[in-house]
Structure 1
Amino acid sequence: MDKRTRAANGRSSVYLGNDGWWHGRVTMGVRDDGKPDRRHVRARTQKDVTAKVKKLERDRASGTLTRPGQRWTVGGWLEHWVENIISAAVRQSTLTGYRTAVYRHLGPGLGSHRLARLEAEHIEKLYAKMAASGLKSGTVHQAHRTLRTALNEAVRRGHIVKNPVELAKAPRLTDEEVEPFTVDEARRVLAAAEQQRNGARWVVALSLGLRKGEALGLQWPDLDLDAGTLRVRRALQRYPWQHGCGDSCGHSRARDCPSRTGGLITVETKSRAGRRGVGLPDPVAGLLRRHRDTQDLERQKAADLWEEGGWVFAQPNGRPINPRTDHNHWKGLLRKAGVREARLHDARHTAATMLLLLGVPERAVMATMGWSHSAMAKRYQHVTEPIRRDVAGRLASLLWDSPSS
C-alpha cells in the first residue's frame, strides 16, 4: 500500500510506492492543454528521490525547464528539424548541406542518444571519429554547424535546457588553399576561350571573379555596356526534382511527376554584399558586345526553337546553362589550354589576387568580389606578398646589380 501523504494543491509530494521505489511528483506549471504539468521522479531511497524533487523545484524557480511531452532522441529531433522546421526557411543548396550532415554523419553517430542526455563529450568523440576516417575538416565543421543550429532550435522550443554543442570544442577548420592561376596560365585559358562558344563566360570568371551561379544567372538587362557596368542581382542553381503531388502520381522518379518542382531556378544572392555593381574593363565590355552579336545570330538560326529568357550565357536554344554542364565545359577548356587541373572557383581566386596585386583598396576589392567580411581579403596575403617581394627583387636586380665584367 502506498505510503503517501496528500500534498496541498501545487505542492510537491514524496511517497513510498507498492513497487518498493520512492516516488516524487512536482507541479512544474501548466501544459498546452491547460492541465497541470506534473512531473514524476523515482529512486530507491527517500533521500535520493527528495534530492530529485528539490532539483525539479530549483529548475522551476529558475525557469530552466524542458517541455513536457515527447522524449526526443537526437536522431528523431534532427530529422524533424531538417524536414519540418528548417526546410522552408533556407535555400535548397543550404538544405542539401544540412541533410547530408544529418543523415550521413550526425544521425548514425549520435542518433540513439536521448536529446536531453547528449553531452559535449559525445559530440567531441564523433568529431574525432570523423576526422580519423579521413573526412576533410570542412565536412566535420559542417556537421558541427548543423548540429549547433538544430539544437539551438531545440533550446528555443524548450526540449532541452542548454545546447551541448556550445560546450563541445569545435573541430579545427583548415582554410581552403587559395590557388590562383599564374599570369601565363590565365593567358592560356583566355586564348583557348576565344575559340569556344560562350568564351566570354570564362573571361568574366577570370577578370571579374563572379561565382558560378552569379555568372550563369546574368541577364542582358543586368549589363550596361556603354557605361561599362554589370550588376549582380541573382544566381542560377539546380535544385533536385521533387514530387509536387504528394507522391500520388504513381511515378517512382520525381522528375517524371507531372507536378514536379526543381530544375534550374534563380535565387537571390546569398547576402547583401553579393548584390553588387561591378565595373567592366574596356576589353571585357568589347568582348561582351561581340558575344551579344553572336547570340543574336544564334537566335535567328534557332528561329521557333529559341526560348527567350534574356540569358547572357545560354544554350543554342536560348535556355539557361545547367551548372553541371558549365563545370564540364570548364574542365574541357583547361585541357584544351594545357593548364593544370583546377576548380572553377580558382578563377575567382585569380581575379581577387590580381586586384590585390594591383593595389586596389581592400574595400573596393570586397565590393567587387561580393565579400561580406574583410577576413576574406586577408586569406590572400600569403599569396600576394611573395609575388610582391619577387617583383621587387627582380626590379632591384635589373636596376642596381652591377654587370659582370
Structure 2
Amino acid sequence: MAKRRTQGSGSVFKDANGVWHYRKDLGRDPATGRRRTVGAKGRTKADARARFNAKLAELERTGLLPGGKSPELADYTERWLADYRTRVKPTTYRTREGRLKACNEVIGHVRLKDLTPEHIRRCMRVLGERLAPSTLKDHFVSLKMVLDQAELEELIPVDPCRRVKPPRVERRVVDVLGPEQPRRMIEAASSMPLARRGARPAEEDLEMWALLFEVAFETGMREGERYAIMPFELELRDGQPGIHVRQQIQRYGRPGEVEIPNWLEATHLSGTLWLTTPKTPAAERFVPVSGSLWERLWKRIRDNGIGSRELVFTSARGNPVCSSTERYQWCKALKAAGLPQVKIHSARHWMATMAARANMPDDARIAVMGHTSMQMTMRYTHRDAASLGQLMAAAIPDLGGNEIVEAEVVD
C-alpha cells in the first residue's frame, strides 16, 4: 500500500513530457478565504526544487506564507503596494507609495510581529519634524492601511496604529476673494502686458486666460476638469446652458513609465498628461453657466475652429494647459489687479461661498460642486462678515429702545 504524504507537505512528480513539478497547498487565505497553491517546474528535479524554494522564500519574505521569521514592514509594504496599484488611479498610488516609503525609512526594518505602538509614535515624531500636520496625518493613515491588512491576514494580532492617536491637524483657513474681486482680476488678466510665447497672438492668449479664470469662478470646476473642457461637453438642457463635466486631465506619467489599471479609461495627450474620467462618479455633473459665459465660450470655439473633441483651452504652443502655467498667469493677474495672492483652488471655494450667500439649497450645492456629502461642501463655504450681518439682522429683532445714541469710533 502506497504511503500517503502528510497533508500540506506538497507533491513532487514528473509529467509525461519529462518535466518535474513541485507543488504545495498553502491553505486558505485568511483575508479572502480562497485556497492557495504554489508551484514550480523544471527540466530536472534539482532545477524544479530550486525554483520552488525560491518562490517559498519570496512568499515568506512578504508574509504570504508563515515562516520561521515574520516579514519586515518594508517587505510586506512592497507586496501591499503591488496589490494596491491595481485598485487605484496612478496619482493616488504615487502619493501612497511616497508616504509609505517615508515611513519605511524610519521603521521599515522592524518585523511585523515586533511592531509596537511606540514604533508608530517614533515614526510620526521623526517625520513630523519636516512635514506639515495634514501631510503627516496622511502618512499615519497610509501606514494604518497597510497594518490593517496585515491584521486581516493574521500576520499580527492587532494593528498597533489602533493604539496610537493620529497626528493632530488644525484645519487651515482658505483665503478667498471678496464677492466683487474676481471681476477685477478677470479684467486685469485680459489687459496685462503682452508677452508672445508661441504661435498664438498675444492678445488672444490673454483673452483665453481671462476666460479660463471666469470659468473657474463661475462654475467652481476643479483644475483638471477645466483644462479638459471640449465643445461636446457644452449642453443646453431645458433651455439652460451649462457644462456637462465628463472628463479631466491628470498628470500620470509618461507612457511606459506609468502603469494604467485595466479598469481606468485614460488616453495619453502629451508628456505626462492624460485625459481620463472624473475624480469620482459624483464628479460627473451638469454645471449651469450664464448666457454671457456661454456665448464667450462658443465664440472662442468658432474663432479658433476647435473641433467637438478638441480642447477649448490650450497653452500658447497648443499643448494642454498644465497647473504650473495657469498658476503663473493667475499670480500675474492678481498682482495686476492689486489683489491678495490667493490659490487657484480658492476659486472653487469662492463659488461655493457665493452659492451659500444666495441661499442655494444644500442638495443643489452638492450637485454643482460634484461632492458626495454636505460635510465636504461645507468645507468650501466661507461666510464673510457682511453676509453674516445681513442674516443676523433678518433673524434678530431690534431689542433696543427708540433713543438714538451718537457714538464715536476710536481706532
Distance (whole Å) between structure 1 residues aligned to residue 390 and residue 403 of structure 2? 15
* Match of residue 101 from structure 1: 99
Q: 1:350-369 counterparts in 2 under 5 A?
A: 350-369=350-369
- What is the deviation of 1:189? 1.2
- What is the deviation of 1:182? 0.8
- What is the deviation of 1:201? 0.8
**Matched AA of 1:122:** H
* Partner SS, residue 292 of structure 1: helix
Is 1:269 matched up with 2:278?
Answer: yes
- What is the deviation of 1:162? 2.8
Which residue of 252, 268, 289 maps to 2:298? 289
Bigger drift between 236-245 and 197-206 goes to: 236-245
Q: 1:230-249 counterparts in 2 under 5 A?
A: 230-241=243-254, 243=256
- What is the deviation of 1:263? 1.5
Distance (whole Å) between structure 1 residues aligned to residue 110 and residue 179 of structure 2? 54
Which residue of 107, 111, 115 maps to 1:118? 115
Which residue of 27, 33, 41 maps to 2:24? 33
Q: Deviations over 1:42-77 (max 9, x none)?
A: xxxxxxxxxxxxxxxxxxxxxxx9941363111222
Q: Deviations over 1:139-163 (max 9, x none)?
A: 1111012112222333344433332
* Partner SS, residue 253 of structure 2: strand
- What is the deviation of 1:360? 0.5
**Matched AA of 1:123:** I
**Matched AA of 1:125:** R
TM-score scaled to structure 2, two decimals? 0.69
Q: Note if contact 1:67-1:158 (Cα within 8 Å) is conserved in structure 2.
A: no
* Partner SS, residue 252 of structure 2: strand
* Match of residue 185 from structure 1: 181
* Match of residue 231 from structure 2: 220
Cα gap change, 1:112 to 1:181, in 2 (>3 Å): same
* Match of residue 250 from structure 1: none
* Match of residue 139 from structure 2: 143
Is 1:164 matched up with 2:160?
Answer: yes
- What is the deviation of 1:393? 7.5
Q: Note if contact 2:232-2:308 (Cα within 8 Å) is conserved in structure 1.
A: no
Distance (whole Å) between structure 2 residues aligned to residue 229 and residue 92 of structure 1? 30
Q: Deviations over 1:273-303 (max 9, x none)?
A: 111111112232222223223333xx6xxxx
Q: Note if contact 2:252-2:258 (Cα within 8 Å) is conserved in structure 1.
A: no
Q: Note if contact 1:334-1:341 (Cα within 8 Å) is conserved in structure 2.
A: yes
Distance (whole Å) between structure 1 residues aligned to residue 140 and residue 26 of structure 2? 38
* Partner SS, residue 241 of structure 1: coil
Distance (whole Å) between structure 2 residues aligned to residue 190 and residue 365 of structure 1? 24
Bigger drift between 347-356 and 186-195 goes to: 186-195
* Partner SS, residue 228 of structure 1: strand
TM-score scaled to structure 1, two decimals? 0.70
Cα gap change, 1:33 to 1:118, in 2 (>3 Å): same
Distance (whole Å) between structure 2 residues aligned to residue 106 and residue 184 of structure 1? 45
Distance (whole Å) between structure 2 residues aligned to residue 327 and residue 314 of structure 1? 14
Distance (whole Å) between structure 1 residues aligned to residue 295 and residue 121 of structure 2? 55
Cα gap change, 1:165 to 1:289, in 2 (>3 Å): same
Bigger drift between 165-174 and 155-164 goes to: 155-164
Q: Note if contact 2:26-2:65 (Cα within 8 Å) is conserved in structure 1.
A: no
**Matched AA of 2:111:** R
Is 1:155 matched up with 2:151?
Answer: yes
Q: Note if contact 1:276-1:367 (Cα within 8 Å) is conserved in structure 2.
A: yes
Cα gap change, 1:110 to 1:379, in 2 (>3 Å): same
Query: Can you give the 5+ residue segments of structure 2 that lack an aligned partner in the other structure?
Result: 11-22, 29-62, 192-205, 260-267, 407-411
* Partner SS, residue 139 of structure 1: helix
Distance (whole Å) between structure 2 residues aligned to residue 363 and residue 244 of structure 1? 41
